[in-house]
Every structure is written in structure tokens, then in C-alpha cells.
Structure 1
Amino acid sequence: MFDLEQDGRRIDFAGLSRVIERGYRVVVYSYQSANEVILRCLEIGALSYIAKSENKQHLIDAITAAHADEPYVGPRMAAAMFANQDAGRPNLTSREMEVLIAWFQTESKDLVAQRLFISPSTVRTHLQRVRAKYASVGRQAQTKSALVARAIQDGIIAVDDL
């Protein structure tokens, strides 16, 4: 569980990113209930977002689901997702986008691994997740060129950056 405003400080998206990048499954629990904040946490990679104004049972259900590696959508999270103007776009994490862009700019997954200091199997895993996320929003991208097209459509990369 991650509180965005620990000790009264401002919203800590960077701290949330660090925790998620370390491989933890995170449920955000916060007083913040703005759609933009909720969607940003989901983009970073949080599994669920529960506002402190919601019934405590939602927090229990979200933690239980995270422990079982299953999704849970509380009322505020559902409202934010419903109001999202970017519907149809997958919620890629910053690391997934970094791997995707590096792959577009290199000739192989091994070179991406060297550039980002990760293993080739981690590169493959990130790319599989990206493809799965595109498929989950009904936008298949089975080939590298299809992924490039999707990334350009979604503003992840520009043609000049390739």
C-alpha cells in the first residue's frame, strides 16, 4: 500500500515509480481523488487506487486482490477510468515505454538490454506486456512495425526519433 502524501508532503509520483520499478505490486491509498492523479498512478503501474473517502472494504478488497495478483477497481478508480479521454490507449508504464523506444531505435533486443542494463529476457517480457496491453484495448500490434505505428499514433515516439 502506498500513500501519495506521506507526512503531509506533496504528491510523490517519483516515490511510487521507484516502488513499482522494484517489482512491488502497489495499491495507492490517498486523500487525492482527482481523475488526473488516479490515472497518473495507474499509468505509473499501480494495480489499484483507493481514495481514503471510500468505504474501508474497498481497501481490503484491493489489497486482497493485489496479493492474489488480480485486478480490483474501486468506485473512484472506475469513475476516473470512465472519464478518461485517452480511452483506447493502453496504460504503459514508463519502463515499458523506455524499452519500447529503445527497441525501435536499435536492431535487436540484445542491444536494448545492453543499453538499459537489463537482461534480454526482461526486454522480451516488457515487449510482451506492451503487446498484451494493446490487445486488451482492441488494438493488436503483433509485429515491430505495427508497434511503431501504434506508438506514433499515441504520441509515445515521433517519426524523427526513429
Structure 2
Amino acid sequence: MTTPESAPSVRLLLCDDHAVVRAGLRALLASADGIAVVGEAATGEEALAMTARLSPDVVLMDLQLDGGMDGVTATRHLTQAGAAVPRVLVLTMFDTDADITRAIEAGATGYLLKAEQPDELFTAIRNAAAGRTALSVPVADRLLTRLRSPRPTLSTREQEILEQLVNGLGNREIARALFISEATVKTHLGRIYNKLGVETRAGAVAAAKERRLLA
């Protein structure tokens, strides 16, 4: 019978574009029982190549990678690679709804923030290797909040006006562009603010981007 002590270590590949971060993670993980760092990648492309060569159980993936493909794109490639598909555990500083959604949709098994305590990181890596979801508490809270607050539905005209806001147009310019009156623009803006739970143009743009309401 296999015991936890005799079980093989989780083979882990680190992917982060900062050498200091990778060195810190490697040193930290050296103290974790049952986890073996088998390689380090600085780019998404390196992560794909090293995964094919080293067959890690888990790839610890940063989202923001300098140059080339980002972490989400790399995650998508890794989780659709075919036979030897590793689990991808995102480790990042970013916790916006858009980042979380993109990573999960790309196939990430878990999503952790870099503020996690070491033991929580170790547990998440082991859970990911076993196919269990691993989420930071703030990330889980955001996902639950989104489930409780469904994505707002904008009318076609409201969507058009929102897109004009993103382009930096004022009410008069929006009215001219859409061939409607300024009063109509103001009415639609009020409805947009109400649906997004904001009070300003900047707030509407930020909320729309975070909730992925823009094409």
C-alpha cells in the first residue's frame, strides 16, 4: 500500500518572467515535502517547450509575462496539449474579474495570489496535482460575488454608447456619431450607470472592461 511518505513527489515547473521571483519560489519550495521543482521558464514559449521535455505534473504560471505569449495563452496551449497535459496553477498579483475569468476559461486548475502564505501555496500545488480546484480566498469570494450578481444586460443602444465612452467621446460627440439627441444620450447614460452600479463615465468604462462587456 502506498503511503503519503512513499508517494512520488509532485513534479513542478515554474513560469515567471522575473528571475528573482523564480529563485525565491524555488528556495521556498525546497522546504515543502512532496514537491520537486524540475525546471524554470521565463516565457510562455519556454514553458511549452519545457513541459514537452520534462512532463511536469503542475505548471505554476504567472499571468503577466514580458514578450511573446502571456500566461493565459500559455495556459490554453498547455491544457489542450493532448496526452501529457499538466495541471496549470496560476500564481499572480492580479485579481480582477477579467483576469480570473480568462485564466479559468483557458483551463487553469487553480488561481492563487502572490500574497498567499507558504503552506497555502504548498497545499494548492498538491491539490492541483490531484485535479482538485485551488483558489485563494479573495478569488473565491470574487467568483461567488459574480455568481450572485449576474452580468448586466445592456441594450444595443446602451452598448453603442458605452463603446463611444471608451473612445473618449463627450455627450455631444456621441449624439452626432449615433444620430440621436444629447438628451437621449443622457437618458441612456443614466441607465448604463444604474445597471453597472457606478456614478461616473470613468466608472462605467472601468466596470465594462472588468466585466468584459466590450467587444
Larger-gyration structure (1/2): 2
Q: Name whichever structure is richer in strand by fraction.
A: 2
Q: Name whichever structure is richer in helix by fraction.
A: 1
